[in-house]
Amino acid sequence: MTTLRMIVGLGNPGPNYAGNRHNIGFQVVDRFAARHRIDLGRTQAKARIGDGWVQRRGDVSDIFSGGIMGFDREKVLLVKPLTYMNNSGQAVSQLARFYQVEPEDILVIHDHMDLERGKLRLRPGGGSGGNNGIKSIMRLLGTDTFPRVRVGVGRPPGRMDPAAYVLQDFAADEETDIFAPLRETICDAVECWLFEGIETAMNRYNG
């Protein structure tokens, strides 16, 4: 029986929030869906979802020789909660129960202010790091043993309110120079988690 893996991006719904720093999780899930041709057109349990297969990327010789790299694949459910960030656990917990997904098979992607801009931290579990979406998921799943990808957006300048900072869009230069390529790297890290596990993904992408 194939194990379903959930990949959850955190953010706020609606066009006004789409480009925000706080929505990096949504942005990564959108990019991952495009990369693997997964349609995010369904709504279930207060979330935008899509399911499909992710093929492990091998070289051409792997695929044509029938080697295992060419034919490894994982079934995924991509999730963008529509409850606003602070209530993300409502959608995640309902979908986890419905699809019978264990916490260790749920990867959550979210922004993190206390991490240098453009840096990644994959973790197998642990605290919320101050993120209210993670707090909600922990509370409603009843555990903190789900892996996550923290995406560094840095601290606000001067005395700027942190909430206002994360609800700003990325500046044009940081979007072009940092976060557009970073989303591709995060997609690579998600694929590494799918096929090689959290420890390998941590060793390869943390830093």
Residue 179 sits in a domain whose CATH number is: 3.40.50.1470
DSSP line for 150-194: EEE--PPSTT--HHHHHTSBPPHHHIIIIIHHHHHHHHHHHHHHH
Position 14 scores a pLDDT of 96
Tens of pLDDT, residues 185-195: 999 999 999 99
Residues involved in catalysis: 22
**The overall pTM is greater than 0.85:** yes
Strand partners, 79: 8, 49
pLDDT at 141 over 50: yes
Task: Give the residue numbers spanning the domain of 101.
Answer: 4-205
Q: What proportion of the chain, given as a percentage, has pLDDT over 90?
A: 88
Q: What is the mean pLDDT of residues 33-48?
A: 97
Q: What is the mean pLDDT of residues 35-57?
A: 96
Domain count, the chain: 1
60 falls in which pLDDT band (50, 70, 90)?
Answer: very low
